[in-house]
Structure 1
Amino acid sequence: MKSPFKPRNLTQNTFDDTDMQRLSDIHHDSLVITMQIGTVRVLRILVDGGSSVNLIMLDILKAMKIDEKQIIKKPNVLVGFSGETKNTLGEIYLPSYVEGVSSYERFGVLDCHSSYNAILGRPCIHNVRAIPSTYPEKEKVCRKRRKFAPERNTIINEEVDKLLDMGMIREVMYPEWLANVVVVQKKNGKWRVCVDYTHLNKACPKDPFPLPHIDAMVDATAGHKILTFMDASSGFN
């Protein structure tokens, strides 16, 4: 099936060594993105230049309210790195949009559990003329130091000193990575000192390994007599 979309002219982006200056932790995380497939904004999509096909999970198609009748019954055999095989249910053609570029992609449909909702392989990468790279995924975030009233400064200093003594935190020198603290009063009248990571979270790549669903974690405790909780703030289990 021929794609009805034509890729638009793309802006040239270049990166050099200056983009990685003052970054103490060079990451090697997977390239996981969010993009629109059909009329739905799909999260946790793995960009895999080593895959010869695009894949989408059956559960995601159901969540997108796409009728299974649209799946073309042309199953294929997928062969993994170590030789294991997996059969697809068939294939489906879906419009995809990313950063102003539209394409009509063929996805193999898999009925299995996966950490990702979809996988973009070389066909999609080629169609949108993309060059996948995790090199520029980090950017520097520096917020202006927030000023507090003297009594709030006392509360903050006491909390920082306590966490330093417990070994829960340590001093680092990141002049271009700065997040302010927030002091919030609890119901019992005491104060809670938090860190505002809003802008830092926006700059960091998304976690490709999300936490399990809470209901699944609760179900996993069935039949056990003891359940332990970790309190990272207080430094004990």
Structure 2
Amino acid sequence: MPDHPPERQAGASARRRMVDAMPSNLGQHTRAEQLAAVLDARIRDGGLRPGESIGTLESLRAETKFAYSTISEAVRLLRDRGIIEIRPGRGGGLFVADAGPVVRMRRTLLRVPDHPETVADAVELREHLEILIATTAARHRTTRDVADLRALLVGMEQTRTWEDFVRANWVLHERIAEICPNEMARAVYVGTLGHLRSTSSPIGDQMTDEYRQQRLQIHCELVDAIEAGHETAVRDVVTRHNVTA
């Protein structure tokens, strides 16, 4: 006779499968990002169709034993990428979203292997798109957008490690991209950030405080230019941002 009921053994097995599925080579990815990647793969590999349920926050919590904050962040990442939708109320939960062509293209970009040449391609493509994304943000920013960007700058300044600083940097750039109404450009840009997130800094803890302050200052100038709606200033800051990166 087994020591535990079959349903408990099944639950433990599911948790092991979920945790074991998390890649071991994701560099600076957070646990929430790893969980989001596993859930995305589950949807794709399982052939789940739009509208099919993938569970609830509670069921994912029971399956992984992760904190609710980790589950919520993973769900937010997938929702923002257009991969899942959240339905409230009775019978609600997490469901596969109806992926349009833009979302499908973003998924394709994120599935490209992270070889060194791929990362170099992502950097080149991101730099070409940066001015379009930033100038469009300057044209369409709202008071709420600017407030969010300011809050993210504060978060960057308060980070304790270089890894956390870089991660906060990507979040800021993703938020700037959200302002851009050009879905195609936004999808490609965010897709390139997905590859850059998977790389680690070649300098890491050796990064000087002076360089970190320079990077923070240039991002502050970028947000200032976006808030002012000054497209010429945005272009100048983006050029310096990419040259000194």
TM class by smaller structure:
under 0.3
> Per residue, is there more strand in 1 or in 2?
1
TM-score, L = length of structure 1 = 0.22
> Per residue, is there more helix in 1 or in 2?
2
Q: Which has the larger radius of gyration?
A: 1
